A and B are shown apart, each in its own frame.
Chain A
Amino acid sequence: MDEIRDEFLSEEDLDLKNMTWEELNAYWTEWLIQAQATNDQDKYTYSHGVFMGMEEPH
């Protein structure tokens, strides 16, 4: 029986390891395109940097 281990990410995420460089790039771009669906929700927010948690003034 396999030893139980703590899991952090989904199987889908962990499958990235099995992708070639080309497959990763294609999947990455496809993911970015699909993620645009939430652009309105994160229009004024920040993912990185010292303004994280702050809302962009508008």
Chain B
Amino acid sequence: METKSIYLQLTDEFNQGRLRTVICSGQAVVLHKLAIMSKDGDWILREDTEAAQHVLNVLSRRSATYRFGAPFDLRWLSGGWSAHFEFAHTFRVRTDFFTRPPRISSNSLGKIWREMEGRNPPFIDPPELAEMKKTNREKDFVVIGEIARLMKDPAEQLLYSRSARDLHSLAMRYPEMLAQLAGQRPLLLQLNDDPDDIARLLDEEKRQLIRVNEQRLEKYAKAGEKWKQEWPTVCKRVEGLSLLEAHHLIVEAAEKYLPFTPTE
């Protein structure tokens, strides 16, 4: 009997013979043994044609279908778009992909690919996971709080901790780091001895991060408006087709309605 989670089975299939995908976000939180909070799987896809074709073939063998999203094509994915699929296993399985995860610099992305080589299963490390979790959702900030406690480096803890008590204790132990890290986290220069005040600073920081992410998503929503209107027609056109056949038609249609990057 297969005892691996469907998300680990898929990751094995995606990475057969070569590292092409890295588990991130919700399922990476599970693999760090922190919490099980998400039904859907998401992966960082290596931004090359072979990787995309291989993963598409795996999804096709699973009889996956496209959900509304960008085509699984590097021209859109390299513009930060995400592609989404769904298939029936013993239950509904959703798979989400991007090649440019939000808030991860190209240096950090390169580091992820180097460090995940040979790791089985490959799932992102706490600092990058914490960056990806700076979403619009309150529950993700809760998770960041616990992810920060997995970090060994006090500088990383100072950058990601969501606990007023932990931050105060870190600031007492490593005062020299506060100014060094404040460029990345301005809150560090405002820490004082009042836990209520630190909690207020954390709350303000969270609201600011949420606003930044909302603005990022609004840009994509605006750029995707025409594609969204067209999607029901596209869906009818690809109904009953295999994923590979549908993919070609979806790419063809998206070329007319969806810009490769949201700023176009």
Partner-B contacts on A (CB < 8 A): 4-6, 8-9, 13-14, 16-17, 19, 22, 24-29, 31-33, 35-36, 38-39, 42, 46-54, 56-58
Contact = CB atoms under 8 A, between A and B. Distances in A.
A26 to B, nearest CB: 7
Interface stretch (B90-98, B106-114, B186-194): B90-98
B173 interface: no
Q: Which DSSP category, helix, strand, loop or mixed, fits chain A's interface?
A: loop
Interface of B: 3-6, 8, 25-26, 30, 33-36, 38-40, 42, 67-70, 80-84, 90-92, 94, 96-98, 135-136, 142-143, 145-146, 162-166, 214, 216-217, 220-221, 224, 228-229, 231-232
B163 A51 contact: no
A25 to B, nearest CB: 5
20 contacts: A5-B163, A13-B36, A16-B36, A17-B33, A25-B5, A28-B5, A32-B5, A32-B39, A32-B91, A48-B98, A49-B42, A49-B83, A50-B70, A50-B82, A51-B82, A52-B135, A53-B136, A54-B217, A56-B68, A57-B231
A46 B96 contact: yes
Contacts of A57: 68, 228-229, 231-232
